[in-house]
Amino acid sequence: MTCLSRRRFLGTFGASVCLLDWLSADLLAEEPASTKLSEAAERGRRFLESLFDPTFDLLPEYRGSEVYWLFHDNYLAAKVLADSNPDLAGKIKGALARFGYEHSGKIEIVFGESKQPLPFRQYELIDVKKVDKKIIKTEIVTETILKGWEGYADLLFLAALAETDPQPAQRHLEAGMKLWDGIGFNDPATTKLHRYATYKLALALIAARKLKVTLEQKPAILEQLLAMQAKDGGWITDYDAKRKPVGLANVETTSLAIIALSPQ
């Protein structure tokens, strides 16, 4: 299981999903209008803003959580809020600096900011600081080479983003898309957890956009991604084989969904 799946054990919770009126039967095979995607992304940004905790100038992992992740969560939140709410984004970036972690080494691949993205290395989750019952955590990259990553959809899409050579980048994207089973990306993490990860839908769209590839599966991926947006605007972490939401809306999944839906 990859570290991007580290928080798939939040527990199974029934979640109320916003079933958007415009996803009517005649649109299921079509890409939703860009205005609708923008509206969904904007609702996601409002969800992130609502989670901001001025005590730490950070967002908790999900509403009500006492865990605050510097990477990936708050790094991603600062990125997606940079244009819409630069003041809030600046406070989050300032908090990352105060806690001594302005870099991680993996998730920055999405923005081309990882200094040594490949080869993938093993990741470690560490505690940064505890304040009463609240805890600040982050993910760091170790020096140990990660083996077996080629079987995981998320890492294949990240590899496609990280590669500077178009040919291997294309191969990584194609390998990731082979894991699409019509419902989601079915890799070893999906098999182990018996659920599909929402953020992998977003990563597929982000990687395809960077490589300027039009995916045949894009309408289905978009449909499933949009269906995972909850009423409060956040994106729910997982869903089962019947497309039923599993888990809660969290910062990491919501941020990646916003990036996938936003024009670049």
Confidence of residue 33 (pLDDT cuts 50, 70, 90): low
Confidence of residue 54 (pLDDT cuts 50, 70, 90): very high
Q: Are 155 and 149 in contact (CB under 8 A)?
A: yes
Rg (CA), the chain: 17
What digits encode the pLDDT tens for the residues 95-117?
999 999 999 999 999 999 999 99
- Spatial separation of the C-alpha atoms in residues 37 and 202, rounded to whole Å: 13
Which residue matches tokens 């990584």?
172
Residues in the chain: 264
For residues 159-177, average pLDDT: 98
23 pLDDT above the threshold of 70: no
- Spatial separation of the C-alpha atoms in residues 129 and 27, rounded to whole Å: 48
Map residue 136 onto helix, strand or coil.
Answer: strand
Backbone angles phi, psi at 168, to 5 degrees: -65, -30
Q: What is the pLDDT of residue 88?
A: 98
Q: What is the pLDDT of residue 34?
A: 85
DSSP string, 165-191: SHHHHHHHHHHHHTTB-SSSB--HHHH
Q: What is the pLDDT of residue 56?
A: 98
Q: Are 221 and 204 in contact (CB under 8 A)?
A: yes
What does the block give as tokens for 172?
A: 């990584």
Average pLDDT, the chain: 90
Please count the structural domains in the chain: 1
Output 27 or 16, whichever has higher pLDDT. 27
What does the block give as tokens for 67?
A: 């865990």
What digits encode the pLDDT tens for the residues 55-83?
999 999 999 999 999 999 999 999 999 99
What percentage of residues in the chain have a pLDDT greater than 70? 87
Which residue matches tokens 């939140």?
77
Q: What is the pLDDT of residue 161?
A: 98
Domain with 137, as residue range(s), is 3-261
Query: Nearest to residue 5, comparing CAs of 219, 252, 227, 172?
Result: 252
Question: CA separation (Å) from 218 to 1, 177, 261?
Answer: 25, 10, 12
Q: What is the pLDDT of residue 212?
A: 97
What digits encode the pLDDT tens for the residues 227-245?
999 999 999 999 999 999 9
What digits encode the pLDDT tens for the residues 122-131?
999 999 999 9
Map residue 61 onto helix, strand or coil.
Answer: coil
**Which residues are CB-contacts of 206 (< 8 A; sequence separation ≥ 6)?**
110, 157, 161, 256, 259, 260
What digits encode the pLDDT tens for the residues 6-20?
443 333 333 333 434
For residues 45-50, average pLDDT: 98
